[in-house]
Amino acid sequence: MREGLFSLFLLAILVYGQSFFFFSLAKSTSYAMSPTLKFGTYVLVEKTQRIQRLDVVLIKRENAQKTEIKRIIGLPNEKVEYKNDQLFIDDEERTEPFITEEKKSARKNEFMYTKDFTLADLTGETTLAKDCYFVLGDNRLYSTDSREYGLIKRAEIIGVVSTRF
Out of 28, 34, 70, 143, which one is annotated catalytic? 70
Q: What is the gyration radius of the CA atoms in the chain, in angstroms?
A: 18
Contacts of 140 (CB under 8 A, 6+ apart): 99, 102, 113, 114, 115
DSSP string, 85-147: TEEEETTEEE--GGGHHHHHHHHHTTS-SS--EEHHHHHS-SS--TTEEEEE-SSTTT--SHH
Question: Can you give the pLDDT at residue 146?
Answer: 98
In angstroms, how far is CA 120 from the centroid of its own chain? 21
Question: Can you give the pLDDT at residue 4?
Answer: 74
Q: Is 139 left (phi over 0), alpha (psi -120 to 50) or beta?
A: beta
Question: Can you give the pLDDT at residue 86?
Answer: 97
Domains of the chain: 22-164 (2.10.109.10)
7 sits in which H/E element: helix 2-19
Side-chain half-sphere exposure of 125, counting CA atoms within 13 A: 14
Question: Can you give the pLDDT at residue 32?
Answer: 97
Out of 30, 47, 103, 153, which one is annotated catalytic? 30
- 70 catalytic, yes or no? yes
Question: Can you give the pLDDT at residue 45?
Answer: 97
Question: Can you give the pLDDT at residue 10?
Answer: 66
Closest CA to 96 of 53, 151, 133: 53
Question: Can you give the pLDDT at residue 49?
Answer: 93
Bridging pattern class, strands 132-136 and 86-89:
unpaired
Closest CA to 47 of 157, 130, 122: 157
Query: From first to last of its 165 residues, what are the pLDDT tens digits of the chain?
Result: 777 776 776 666 666 666 566 789 999 999 999 999 999 999 999 999 999 999 999 999 998 999 999 999 999 999 999 999 999 999 999 999 999 999 999 999 999 999 999 999 999 999 999 999 999 999 999 999 999 999 999 999 999 999 988
Counting every residue, how long is the chain? 165
- 30 catalytic, yes or no? yes
